[in-house]
Amino acid sequence: MKPAIILVSETRSDELRGEFGRYARDYDLPTATSAREAKQAAKRVVAEGGQVAMFVTESRLPDAEVFEAFHWWRATVPTARRVIAAHVSTFREDAESLRGGMAKGKYDAYLLAPRGARDEEFHTAICELLSDWGSTVAEPEVVAVAIVSPVEDALTLSIRDYLDRMGLPNRVYPPDSDKGRHVLELLAAEGAEPEFPVFMDLNQRVGSARSVRDVASAIYGRPADVDVDRVVDVAIVGAGPAGLAAAVYASSEGLSTVVLESEAVGGQAGTSSMIRNYLGFPRGISGMRLAQRARNQAIRFGTQFFSGWPVTALEPGAVDAEGNREPHRLHTDGGDLLARAVVVSAGVKYRRLDAPGIEKLVGLGVHYGSAMTAAREMEGYDVIVVGGGNSAGQAAIHLARFARSVTILVRRETLAETMSDYLVGEIAYNPRITVQGCSEVIEGGAGDDARLGWVTVRNTSDGTQERRECRGLFLLIGAEPHCDWLPDEVVRDARGFVLTGRDVPLELWRGGLPPESLETTVPGVFAAGDIRAGSMKRVAAASGEGASVVPLVHAWLDPSR
């Protein structure tokens, strides 16, 4: 059964249906002349086992204000995207009163309805929203990586989360399914015994996965694939926004560039379901799509990426009395890499929650970060998000598409001090999300199925405790720098963030001068993004630092510039 795009207009539903005819192969296109009729149409689709991908409505309806209609439709199908396609006669008049609702998450796009053939600006917006729906809600029709496993355990979920963040559609198949048997037959033909989970990529390569890295290596290779006798111009450690920006600008300017990423491309930003305040994306963009676009852009200019390979050590290259420089050496479990310059953009990791029973349930209902893959498993359940930053807000909004209820727990009284205003407003409008201040999780335990079943919440004001049923616990409780692998020569502050430029202690300046603005205490080693002391800890700021570091790398590689 095809998913539905429900088209709503009192007098122009036939015109809308004609405009959306290009989608008829992949979507059903039911029409409605009122908000209530559209709600009933959505209920019929759901009752028949189908999915509603999108509501498209005019800005004026005969039986409800458009915001009221969106409220009804979201209560019926929380995962559907909601679009206003305003007629030219009402577009300007209604824009001022309706566009503010988009910032609060009441709907996803305010568009001028097409007035002729091939309005590709309109359809670009529609396709982007349908693509976002398809990647976060629907099971993929075209599978890039098939996973075979009798159960979706913590490892299987981690592999799926990695693949989702890398933009690779995937699906889990039981061993006794047609697809499962096919994959296992290919593995047997290679003389291997299956050790679940088993995976197969588009090139029919199969293998057993004992870790996420096994899958990453099979698909993307390993650092040893770079000949150690070759010295690259710049090695970038970490593929978050800072590392991706540095890769794009370095490789586009002719520098040989390699990026090493311990997890999936995108870093923490890559787990965000929707970033609405990033410059140039008025309808917002998911962190995964932003990261994969940047990755593809860097690859186009020649950057090599190796994901799933954390750097375990850095050996700074020596500089002799005549100024001759040896390359820096980066160690990974998959091989070493030699580079004339290094950009450290490894970002930060979410702080672990020190509470009894929590750690052993990681991957089994407990997740650090938003874990977008796990959101689909929360359908019909009560979940808790711990954290008061933007990432926590974005996670809660995405989870509310699936979960019965989402509770945000914060130690402060409100979210206003720590979260962007647009997110606070969107959360306040969402009836499925509740904010509970002065609260913390102090314990958790499993239910009958060995997955998370309950947590104990403590009120930090009066010390009272409450045990609550909970099937999903998403922890976004502050960040710690990810730089234990750096040598002592790279000086850090008391919290572990890397010092650069004038923040470096005076006694470590060279020749009475501080390092360059993004340079560390080791010549030729730079830091950008969240890992750098004093950075703004925002996606746009990290991207800016990644771009800004490239001229400094050029100057280091060619002092005569």
> Are 435 and 345 within 8 A, CB to CB?
no
Give the pLDDT score at 560: 64
Q: Please check the confidence at residue 37 and state whether its pLDDT lies above 70.
A: yes
Question: pLDDT digit string (tens) for 391-403?
Answer: 899 999 999 999 9
Contact 77, 133 (CB under 8 A): no
The pLDDT confidence band at residue 227, using thresholds 50, 70 and 90, is low
- Give the CA-trace dihedral at 277, 279, 283, 288, to 10 degrees: -80
Instruction: Please list the residues that pair with 86 across neighbouring strands.
Output: 112
| Residue scoring higher pLDDT (246 or 117) | 246
> Could you give the angle at the alpha carbon of 27 between the alpha carbons of 26 and 28, nearest 5°?
140
Q: Please tell me the distance from the alpha carbon of residue 27 to that of residue 497, in angstroms, as a whole number.
A: 50
Here the tokens at position 79 are: 């995962």
Q: Model confidence at 371, in pLDDT bands (50, 70, 90)?
A: confident
Mean pLDDT of 211-228: 81
| Residue 408, burial from CB neighbour count under 10 angstroms (0-12, 13-18, 19+) | buried
Extended strands (E) in 292-438: 304-307, 311-315, 328-332, 335-344, 348-350, 366-368, 382-386, 405-409, 433-436
Contacts of 138 (CB under 8 A, 6+ apart): 3, 51, 53
For 101-120, give the secondary structure using H, E and C: HHHCCCCCEEEECCCCCCCH
The encoded tokens of residue 501 equal 């430029």
Tens of pLDDT, residue by residue over 6-35, are 999 999 998 999 999 999 999 999 999 999
Is the pLDDT at 497 greater than 80, yes or no?
yes
Confidence at residue 111, expressed as pLDDT on a 0 to 100 scale: 95
Give tens-digit pLDDT for 267-319. Answer: 888 888 888 888 888 888 888 999 999 999 999 999 999 998 899 999 999 87
- Of 235, 403, 375, nearest to 317 by C-alpha is 235
pLDDT single digits (tens) 101-149: 887 889 999 999 998 888 899 999 999 999 999 888 877 778 999 999 9
